[in-house]
Structure 1
């Protein structure tokens, strides 16, 4: 290649990267090839189109989708509604927003994790910012900030847009999605709906794993676009479902959610004030769990029905359990963006209130109330076309109340957060790198203050004595984007003071104590791709996490092992195919009977390798057919982050749940 051509190509890449850095706008694409390794747009910020197909079998919820991104893993329940873990960090350390709103689960053990209410294909974009490297989206996001977003329809003239999909697969898997919009240059009406269901799956040995689910979602949005600089939208949504859990004593017989929201944007206001954004939202979750709706009546219940004595019937009544809980969340946010020749300032306010209740014989009883309000500023200084410095700070006031029969306890905290990051795009090579230092304090959440039986000291409540987490973390990354080769690497190292740790009673897993310890974490993710011919490409990605409990001189629990993915892709005209080899190492760094409110370390885990493949054919611009086989060799394996099986299904207390065996699926996508 002539030198002139090489320099021109490098400059074009640098300019494209610089524009992306300047605007922070996602670059979605409707890929025809199924993603098998990693969707990466930057080592720090990942932006991907959620409708882009990927393997394994398309996700049933938000957490299921996230596990395809390097660094993410999942505390597995069985078939659906697992809990996402990023870089070994769990719960509210990962800020999860859907359409800019936060939807809180209700179950004290997170049976209905926030991602269980998210259907990925109902959204257009997924954006992840790793580590405490932004302050724009709320407090406490020490592990990262995750946003599921919709792109509102645009109409230059009156018309209709529609897209949908049908999925069928093993274990009676059936999915249907539909999205339709109609409008003109003045506004639009958008309808979104989906339904997903599956039966129990079988592991590699042919053993049935109770894991069936049935869920649906529906959303409606009305938008007003009087001109090119003004946008207003009103939205509402509902959903429900049920799910069976092999790893829990009860199943989820109701996952009801309701949402309302309003958004407003006005851009190009003046030469300096570029944009004003405002949002208000309301979300409500109503969750019912029991051990009678989706599973066979426990043995002692059946015995009580057969035996006529009063004592047996009393035992039967006590064995049948159910619980009904709900959470009501309201929030608001306003942000302004100011532009100068070399600077961009984003400044605003946000607030949220949520109330948790349980249904008792006396009716609904409120047990917890949370409130947060904060102010934030994020400044970007573009020193020249190749480098910039970004810094941000926020200050939050968090309050919580605990309601009991005789009294109400109250606590509050003022929580600072901030970061500074340097980014550089080399002028002579298509290389971008960054380094950033971030600090954030995280207020204990509902699951940490209310779910455990004991606080830092036995016999005392966690509500009054549990300390806020304080995370200081360095993030670094580098990316090379050229032809025919591209690669990226991101790493982190952090110190967490007052890390919130859950300890389980070895003799009674339902008894938990929560405490504060000091911890250290480090790790990273990497990926590469190489087009060795016009039609063939190889990809690879890898993620590693390490954590240490400094206070007790032992490993940090619930840390996923080294996870690597290797992909081979072929694409030619309408045809495409991919193969995936996922390799996971064993994990021997465990802290027995310690973990989080959902899972604990109960054993070391073995490594495994799983091979999957897919093929797709694009019939025309509007219709595409694809299909795949996951776990082709019918491997029997289990993930390290795992809920132990439940004795009602014949599992011992320390027996991990195996993943699905060979799974076939086919999908039809239509877009008009």
Structure 2
């Protein structure tokens, strides 16, 4: 009997092979066939056939997750109804601030699929040791050199190339390294380029992309620990963002990190990290798309973001029974400058000299109460943020000048403390393992939500077509979270259902600017009306609740024949008024049937998405229709170390729209202005990977 079951849940086509006979589904949680810690799943990229360049697509097929598609390289992860900076997303464990005021560069923008080794997905909630965050956490681990068993330097390589027909795109990249038992040296690089996306009704204009990534890292064994230094640069060249009023012209971003981890003694384990990320960004409304008819409406926006981080933690005890103490700090600086490229006298800083910091500490314990295992932790953070006075050119009209003067005269500094608590409990009862998670989590308003004095389309990635303005008096979000479920597994079947509930006080979202939204009777509404929206929204505090259920399962039907799938349901609504939270994934399910032999497998997948009628009236959200998609996938090991993967997504070439895809803002496209963006048509994908030396 074949005791390996194929799990399928990637972008239209994906697969993995968990070893059921060996896995513990709670302390060694299986999503893609890899052992895991008690609080995380691991998704290995080499076991997934992901056709898109966006690593968010890889995460989005996990139970409870979905993709917020804001462009080919700007996807955000939604997890159990939360997205944006409510999800703790990192790359190589490094936190950093987005450079784009519309979150065109969410963290996974900096994780090209050719360089991703694996994704660590916090199951439900993130442990407090990983930092503050309202929802779960995602950490993209890039490929890196590993220490070898040899005293001499040995070469290693992990190289990938791929092609996708749906946008005539290609990718290439990987890792080349030298390592010994004490020293490792590695170089990574990748390049991707794609044309506009094709769908059954035509072409989605301004959806092309281009991205270059390169870097180097070195490691040294120091006693019972290791010291690692890494540098990486990413250059995102012109890339379209149809749901936004502008497209990416460039992101030039540098990553630097230094880390040590290792044993100080049998019961002491130390981790220390320091890092810096510098983002330089330009976006405009005319280079990739049809520009405004009047030159006075041409816009080019420059944005910078610098993030410095440092953290340390000390684990006292064994991996299964310990107390962990730690502290971390983040320092952030941001600037956003709007210009007209044909008029040097027109410029204004919608965010000027934004500075912020967070200093935090935590205590966390792994312990047991008879048959019950537990992980319990708490953290305290002090936050500070301040904004400079706006700068304006002489050609800026009177309306924005009035708003800038009012903002300059206001109290533009803010500080507060937050407390997060998280507790997870589980018990090993053989094939059945119940689990329970309880938490109090917080989130503070970001710079866009608090300091946006100028009414613009910058919404932190919401992409709902509304014009927004910030609020200096925003309160912190506070979520009370409960999750309950179980993991069942025997030699032929597994299932992992979860029920969850989040009650969020002071949830931050767009609300009508004032009590007379149909009457233009304030300077903010006058300026917003000049920019095309007479009913702007203000970021405000509301009360919300989010609840639902998700499941993944697998069944070894007979020998090499396997059935696998996922199902997700989430309901998110306001508690203060009768309305829904914006941009929530509809109920969906995926089922795959596969035939697996030792060196190859073939399979087919069906994806079903229900109608989404629970939409936000406040955000003018449109309902969407359900749809069913079919796909094929396959894998073959050509020689040891050389593999070939292939897939066909949207096999029947169905014309459909994803509810989370956003609305078209590009004039002259085959997609109508204001219409929800369609999904890709029938598209073939092929990938070859070589690991050797």
C-alpha contact 1:78 1:209 (8 A) present in aligned 2: no
Report SS of the residue matched to 2:56: helix
- CA positional deviation for 1:286: 1.1
User: What CA distance in whole angstroms lies between the structure 2 residues aligned with 1:286 and 1:577?
Assistant: 44
Residues 288 and 323 of structure 1 are in contact (CA less than 8 Å); yes or no, is this contact kept in structure 2? yes
CA distance in 2 between partners of 1:294 and 1:511 (Å): 27
Matched, 1:47 2:72: no
- Is residue 452–residue 514 contact of structure 1 (8 Å, CA) maintained in 2? no
Compute the displacement of 1:557 (Å): 2.2
Cα gap change, 1:124 to 1:144, in 2 (>3 Å): same
CA distance in 1, matches of 2:136, 2:421: 13
Deviates more, 1:347-356 or 1:615-624: 615-624
Task: Identify the residue that residue 285 of structure 1 maps to in structure 2.
Answer: 279
Q: What does 1:177-326 correspond to in 2, within 5 Å?
A: 177-227=173-223, 229-241=224-236, 242-267=238-263, 269-273=264-268, 275-298=269-292, 300=293, 315=294, 317-326=295-304
The 1:78–1:421 alpha-carbon spacing in structure 2 relative to 1, beyond 3 Å, is: closer
Q: 1:403 aligns with which of 372, 388, 409?
A: 388
* Matches of 2:305 and 2:319, distance apart in 1: 45
Q: Distance in 1 between matches of 2:318 and 2:164?
A: 54
Number of aligned residue pairs: give it.
Answer: 616
1:70-469 to structure 2, matched below 5 A, reads: 70-139=63-132, 141-150=133-142, 152-157=145-150, 158-170=153-165, 171-227=167-223, 229-241=224-236, 242-267=238-263, 269-273=264-268, 275-298=269-292, 300=293, 315=294, 317-339=295-317, 343-359=321-337, 366-384=352-370, 386-405=371-390, 406=408, 409-426=412-429, 429-451=430-452, 462-469=470-477
1:627 lines up with 2:627 in the alignment: no
- The unaligned stretches of length 5 or more in structure 2 are 2-18, 391-407, 457-466, 519-528
**1:17 CA displacement:** 2.9
Q: What SS does structure 1 have at the residue aligned with 2:72? A: coil
Structure 2: how far apart are the matches of 1:461 and 1:445?
13
Please state whether the residue corresponding to 2:73 is helix, strand or coil. Answer: coil
Contact 2:582/2:621 (8 A) holds in 1: no
1:452–1:512 Cα contact (<8 Å) kept: no
Residue 363 of structure 1: CA displacement?
Answer: 10
Instruction: For residues 259-314 of structure 1, give each alpha carbon's deviation from its aligned partner in whole angstroms, at most 9, with x where no partner exists.
Output: 111000121x22432x100000000111110123223444x2xxxxxxxxxxxxxx
- 1: CA distance, partners of 2:647 / 2:43: 21
Whether contact under 8 Å (1:333, 1:351) holds in the other structure is: yes
Q: 1:95 to 1:62 in 2, by over 3 A?
A: same
CA distance in 1, matches of 2:543, 2:455: 19
In structure 1, the partner of 2:684 is 664
Q: RMSD over aligned Cα, in angstroms?
A: 2.8
Give the structure 2 partner of residue 5 of structure 1. none
Alignment of 1:17 with 2:28, yes or no, is no
Q: Is contact 2:468-2:536 (8 Å) kept?
A: no
Query: Counterparts in 2 of 1:483-498, with a 5 A limit?
Result: 483-498=491-506
Aligned: 1:499 with 2:499: no
Compared CA separation, residues 471 and 363, structure 1 to 2 (3 A): closer
- What TM-score results when the alignment is normalised by the length of structure 1? 0.86
Q: Deviations over 1:106-147 (max 9, x none)?
A: 2222222222222244232311113445101111x1211111
* Equivalent residue in structure 1 for 2:561, among 521, 536, 552: 536
Structure 1 residues 383 and 89: CA distance shift in structure 2, 3 A: same
Distance 1:461 1:626, change over 3 A: closer
Task: Tell me, yes or no, if the aligned pair for 1:131 and 1:142 is still in contact at 8 Å.
Answer: no
SS at match of 2:202: coil
1:492-536: per-residue Cα shift (whole Å, max 9, x none)?
A: 112111011114789855933111111111012101111111111
Residues 54 and 14 of structure 1: CA distance in aligned 2, closer, same or farther (over 3 Å):
closer
Do 2:172 and 2:191's aligned partners in 1 also have CA atoms closer than 8 Å? yes
> Which residue pairs with 2:526 in the alignment?
none
In 1, Cα distance between equivalents of 2:468 and 2:82: 26
Question: Contact between 2:664 and 2:675, CA under 8 Å: does it hold in 1?
Answer: yes
SS at match of 1:483: coil
Unaligned ranges ≥5, structure 1: 2-11, 32-38, 301-314, 595-600
Question: Which is further off, 541-550 or 109-118?
Answer: 109-118
* SS of the residue 1:555 aligns to: coil
Q: How high is the TM-score relative to the length of structure 2?
A: 0.83
Q: Residues 183 and 27 (structure 1 numbering): CA distance in 2 closer, same or farther, change over 3 Å?
A: farther
1:310-337: CA deviation from partner (whole Å, max 9, x where unpaired): xxxxx3x213221110100000000011
The residue that corresponds to 1:34 in the other structure is none
- Shift of the alpha carbon at 1:454? 7.3
Matched position secondary structure for 2:296:
helix
Contact 1:257 1:284 in 2 (8 A): yes
